[in-house]
Amino acid sequence: MAERGRGNLPAEFTSMIGHAAEVAEGLRSLARTRLLAVTGPGGVGKSRVAVRVARHARRRFPGGTWYAELSAVTGEPALTARVAAAIGRPQARTPEGIAAALRERRALVVLDTCEHLTGPVARLAEVLLRRAPHAKIVVTGRQPPDLAGQHVLYVRPLAEADAVTLFAERAAAVDPDFSLSGGGTRAAVAEICRNLDGLPLAIELAAACLRSLTAPELRDRLRDRRPLPAGTTSALPRQRDLRAMVEWSHALCGAEQRTLWAALSVVDGGFEQETAEAIGIEAGLPRVRAAVVLGDLVARSVVLREPAPGGAGYRLLRPYRQVGLELLEARARRRLTARYGAATAAPVPAPGSRPEAGDVVLSPRELQVAKLITEGLTNLEIAGRLVISKRTVDAHVRNILAKGHLTSRTHVAAWVASSD
C-alpha cells in the first residue's frame, strides 16, 4: 500500500535494523540542502534509508512526498514519464512540465535507484531545482549525480551486532524455532554476517536459506564460496540473489573499471592507494589512468574508502571480490596473487625448508588440493576433480592452513604461486 493524499511513499513491511545514524544525518541534511544523494554499495540499504528519511520529514512537505522507483527505467523519456506518474501528473511530458506541476508546492521527490541514469537524473533534478523553488529531491544510487550543491549521504554496511540482529529477525520469520542460543549458532551467524560484509540484502537472502539449511551449514556453504539460493520472488530481479546484485554494478562499469575490479580482487582485505595503482598498472592500465580508475570505482561504490592508520584505506567487499576473482584470467590471478594477495595481511611462509623451522611441508594429496585452490575451485569442485569426498577435501584444507600457519585460501594460492 502507499500513503495517499500527501504522497505515495511505499509501505515498509519489515523493520529496518541499523542505519539510525544515517537517517538522522539525512534529516539534518535535508533541512539545509535541496538535493540529498544517498549512495553506497549495492544491497547496503540506500532505498530503505531514503524512504525512512522521507517518511520522517513528510510534515515539512505539505505538497507531498513522492516516490519513483527507477531500476527498470531506460532513457530520458521513460524517466520523465515515470516521475510524472509518481507525482500524479501523467500529462507532464517534459522536465519543465514536472517542474510546473511542483512550482507552487513544498514537495519532496524521491528518485530511487538512479546509478544507470546519472545523466538524465542530473538534468531532471537541475530543472526541478531551478523552476520549482520550494521542492526538494532525494536520489539514491551507487553513484550520485554530478550536481553542484548536493549533499552526499554515504550508507555503509552494518556493524556486526546489527548484522547479527538482522539475520536473527529475518531467520525467525522463515523458521519460528530459530534461536541464536545453543549449538554454536551465534558464532556461525556472526561468521556468515562477516562473510557477507554486513550487507543487509545479502544477510536477508542468507537468512531466507534457513528454510532448508541450518546456520552452520549455511556458514560452510559460504566458506566454500558456493552461491546462495535465489531469494524471494517479490524482490526486484537484480535483488533476488547476491550475484545478480553485484553483476548489476559490474554491468555499469566500463572496461578499465572492470579490469581494475578484477585485479584488486586478489587482495584479501584492505589496501592502500599505492598498492591499488601498482596492481592496476600490472593488470594493463596506463600509469596515468590507474589512480583515476580507482577513483571511478570508489565513486561507483564498488571499492569502499575508509579510514586507515596513516591515511585513507580501501577495501573491496567480499561479494564483489568473489565475482572479480571469477572474472580474472587464471594466469593473471596466479601472478597478481603471488605479488599482492597477502599485501596487507601476515606474510606467507616460504616453502621448501624443514618443518622444524616452521615451513610448509605438504603431502602429495595436500599439494594437489593447494594447486586446485589457486585455480579458484571450491572444496566441492576439488572433491569432484580428485574423486574424493568433500569432507576429505575440507580436512586437507584445514591441514594446509595449519601446517603453513596460513589464514586464508588466498594465502594458500600465494604460497603455491611463489613456489612455481
Dump pLDDT digits (tens) for 23-54. 999 999 999 999 999 999 988 999 999 999 99
Residue 330: Cβ within 10 Å count: 10
> Region 211-240: what's the mean pLDDT?
67
Contacts of residue 284, defined as CB under 8 A and 6 or more positions apart, other chains included, come to: 259
Give the separation between CA 367 and CA 403, rounded to whole angstroms: 12
Give the separation between CA 342 and CA 333, rounded to whole angstroms: 13
The residue that leads in pLDDT, 91 or 307, is 91
> Region 88-92: what's the mean pLDDT?
92
SS3 272: coil
Q: Which is nearest to 322 in space by CA: 410, 382, 240?
A: 410
pLDDT of the residue at 243:
76
CA quadruple 127, 133, 135, 137: dihedral sign: positive
pLDDT of the residue at 212:
83
Q: Does residue 241 carry a pLDDT above 80?
A: no
Phi and psi based region of residue 132 (left: phi greater than 0; alpha: psi -120 to 50; beta: remaining) = beta
Give the separation between CA 77 and CA 72, rounded to whole angstroms: 13
| % of the chain beyond a pLDDT of 70 | 85
Residue 407: Cβ within 10 Å count: 15
Dump pLDDT digits (tens) for 242-266. 777 788 888 889 999 999 999 999 8
Asked if 167 and 206 touch (Cβ cutoff 8 Å), the reply is yes
pLDDT of the residue at 312:
62
Supply 337's cell numbers. Answer: 596473487
Residue 35 forms beta bridges with which residues? 137
Phi and psi based region of residue 135 (left: phi greater than 0; alpha: psi -120 to 50; beta: remaining) = beta
> Region 372-380: what's the mean pLDDT?
79
- DSSP states of 73-141 as a string? --SHHHHHHHHHHHTT-TT--SHHHHHHHHTT---EEEEE--GGGHHHHHHHHHHHHHH-TT-EEEEEE
Dump pLDDT digits (tens) for 400-419. 877 776 666 666 776 676 66
Supply 275's cell numbers. Answer: 598498492
| % of the chain beyond a pLDDT of 90 | 47
Give the separation between CA 110 and CA 357, rounded to whole angstroms: 62
The residue that leads in pLDDT, 192 or 334, is 192
| Residue 71 DSSP code | T
Instruction: Describe the strand order of the beta sheet including 270-271 as a list of residue ranges.
Output: 270-271, 311-316, 303-308
> Region 387-394: what's the mean pLDDT?
83
Average pLDDT of every residue of the chain? 84
pLDDT of the residue at 417:
63
Give the separation between CA 276 and CA 282, rounded to whole angstroms: 10
pLDDT of the residue at 267:
87
pLDDT of the residue at 345:
37
**8-12, 189-193, 339-343, 394-398: segment of lowest average pLDDT:** 339-343
pLDDT of the residue at 225:
66
Give the separation between CA 154 and CA 162, rounded to whole angstroms: 18
Distances (CA, A) of 257 to 41, 65, 120, 154: 15, 36, 22, 21
Residue 161: Cβ within 10 Å count: 12
Q: Which is nearest to 139 in space by CA: 81, 74, 69?
A: 69
Residue 350 pLDDT grade (very low, low, confident, very high; cuts 50, 70, 90): very low
pLDDT of the residue at 121:
95
Give the separation between CA 55 and CA 149, rounded to whole angstroms: 23
pLDDT of the residue at 88:
92
Residue 353 pLDDT grade (very low, low, confident, very high; cuts 50, 70, 90): very low
> Region 368-397: what's the mean pLDDT?
82
